[in-house]
Chain A
Amino acid sequence: MTRPAPSTSRMRTWFDLSGWRDLLIAIPYGWLLAFFLLPFAIVIAMSFAVTVVDSPPFAFLEEWPYLRLDNYARLFGEDLFVRAFLVSMLNALITTLICLVIGFPMALCLTRVSRSWRNVLLMLVILPFWTSFLLRVYAWIGLMGTNSWFNKGLTTLVNAFLPAEMALRSIQMTNTNFAVILVMVYTYLPFMVLPLYANLERLDRTLDEAALDLGSKPWQVFRDITLPLSVPGIIAGGLLVFIPASGELIIPSLVGNAADPMIGRVISDQFASARDWPMASAVAVALLFILVFPMIAYNHFEARAAQRERGEP
Chain B
Amino acid sequence: MNRRPVFLISCLAFGFAFLYVPIISMIVFSFNKSRLATVWGGFSTDWYWRLLDNEQIIEAAILSLQIAFVSASVATIIGTLAGIALARFKRFRGRTLFSGMVTAPLIMPEVITGISMLMMFIVMAEWIGWPSERGFTTITIAHITFSLTYVATIVQSRLSDADLAIEEAALDLGSRPWQVLWDVTLPVISPAIVTGWLLAFTISLDDVVITSFTTGPGSTTLPILIWSKVKLGVTPDINALATIIVLVVGVVVVTASLILNRFERQRELDTQRALQNGG
List residues of chain A with CB under 8 Å of any chain B CB. Answer: 15-16, 20-21, 24-25, 27-29, 31-33, 35-40, 42-43, 46, 56, 102-103, 105-106, 108-110, 112, 119, 121, 123-125, 127-128, 130-143, 145, 147-150, 186, 189-190, 193, 208-209, 212, 239-240, 243-244, 246-250, 253-254, 264, 267-268, 271, 277, 280-281, 284, 287-288, 291, 295, 298-299, 302, 306, 310
Contacts and interface: CB of A to CB of B under 8 A. Distances in A.
A302 B153 CA distance: 12
A138 B245 CA distance: 13
Contact of B160 (A31, A134, A299, A310): A310
Contacts of B22: 136, 139-140, 142-143, 186
B254 interface: yes
Nearest to B125: A56
27 contacts: A25-B85, A28-B98, A28-B152, A32-B82, A32-B98, A39-B117, A42-B120, A103-B15, A105-B8, A105-B11, A106-B15, A110-B12, A112-B5, A127-B253, A130-B202, A132-B246, A135-B246, A141-B230, A142-B29, A147-B38, A186-B19, A240-B107, A244-B110, A249-B110, A281-B119, A284-B112, A302-B103
Given A20-B177, A248-B109, A28 B208 contact: no
Interface string B136-180: 000001101100100010000100100000000000000011100
Contacts of A264: 109, 111
Contact of A189 (B1, B15, B85, B113): B15
Contact of B148 (A28, A103, A291): A28
The A interface is mostly helix, strand or loop, or mixed, namely helix
A16 to B, nearest CB: 5
Given A121-B16, A142-B239, 13 more contacts: A24-B81, A27-B81, A36-B101, A37-B101, A39-B113, A39-B119, A124-B19, A132-B242, A135-B242, A139-B242, A145-B38, A212-B1, A291-B109
A35 B78 contact: no
Contacts of A127: 250, 253-254
A124 B17 CA distance: 11
Contacts of A193: 15
Given A134-B227, A134-B230, A123 B254 contact: yes
Contacts of B122: 56
A20 B208 contact: no
B232 to A, nearest CB: 11
Nearest to A193: B15
Interface string B230-254: 1100100011001001100110011
A121 B12 contact: yes
A40 B5 contact: no
Interface residues of B, number: 90
Interface of B: 1, 5, 7-9, 11-12, 14-16, 18-23, 25-26, 29, 36-40, 78-79, 81-82, 84-85, 89, 92, 94, 98, 100-105, 107-113, 115-120, 122-123, 126, 141-142, 144-145, 148, 152, 157, 160, 176-178, 181, 202, 205-206, 208-209, 223, 226-227, 230-231, 234, 238-239, 242, 245-246, 249-250, 253-254, 257, 261
A24 B89 CA distance: 10
Nearest to A32: B101
B111 A106 contact: no
Given A31-B148, A103-B15, A127-B253, A288 B226 contact: no
A244 B107 contact: yes
A36 B23 contact: no
Given A133-B208, A143-B22, A42 B123 contact: yes
Contacts, number: 248
Which of B36, B79, B177 lies at the interface centre, i.e. has the most chain A CB atoms within 10 A of its CB?
B177
Contacts of A56: 122, 126
Contacts of A280: 115
Nearest to A291: B109
Contacts of A21: 89, 177
Nearest to A132: B206
Contacts of A140: 22
B223 A134 contact: yes
* Interface-central residue, B39, B82, B109, B257, by most chain A CB under 10 Å: B109
A40 B114 CA distance: 10
A46 B121 CA distance: 13
B238 A31 contact: no
Contacts of A130: 202, 249-250, 253
Most interface-central of B9, B22, B36 (chain A CB within 10 A): B22
A281 B249 contact: no
Given A39-B116, A145-B234, A250-B209, A109 B9 contact: yes
